[in-house]
């Protein structure tokens, strides 16, 4: 998903990444992260990656300098389709 226009102010967003050693994920309030940082918990939503390799994982993200906000997309739809394919 490309996010060229900020949904809050309508300005042009800048495309970039959130570099991380492990697969970055979003965790809802009330859920704890596991003690092993390389494990994505069940409640965690994996962020969509722009790059994954020897230099780590780079989640795709868009930045609005006007609102000073970063918006990242997740892999939720891929996760759903994987479940649908499971017998
Ligand atoms: Zn904005």
For 18-51, b where at least 16 C-beta lie within 10 A, e where not — what string?
beeeebbbeeeeeeeeeeeeeebeeebbbbbbee
pTM of the model: 0.77
For residue 63, how far is its CA from the centre of ligand 1 (angstroms)? 8
For residue 82, how far is its CA from the centre of ligand 1 (angstroms)? 34
- Name the 3-class secondary structure at 16: strand
For residue 31, how far is its CA from the centre of ligand 1 (angstroms)? 29
How confident is the model over 23-66, as pLDDT tens digits?
A: 999 999 999 888 887 888 999 999 999 999 998 999 999 999 99
Distances, alpha carbon 19 to alpha carbons 32, 81, 84, in Å: 22, 26, 30
C-alpha span between 87 and 70 (Å, rounded) = 37
- Name the 3-class secondary structure at 8: coil
């Amino acid at each position: 998903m490309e996010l060229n226009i900020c949904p809050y102010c309508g300005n042009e967003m800048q495309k970039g990444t959130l570099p991380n050693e492990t697969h970055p994920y979003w965790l809802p309030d009330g859920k704890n992260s596991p003690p092993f940082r390389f494990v994505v918990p069940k409640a965690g939503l994996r962020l969509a990656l722009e790059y994954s390799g020897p230099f780590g994982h780079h989640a795709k993200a868009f930045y609005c300098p006007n609102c000073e906000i970063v918006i990242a997309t997740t892999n939720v739809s891929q996760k759903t389709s994987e479940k649908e394919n499971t017998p």
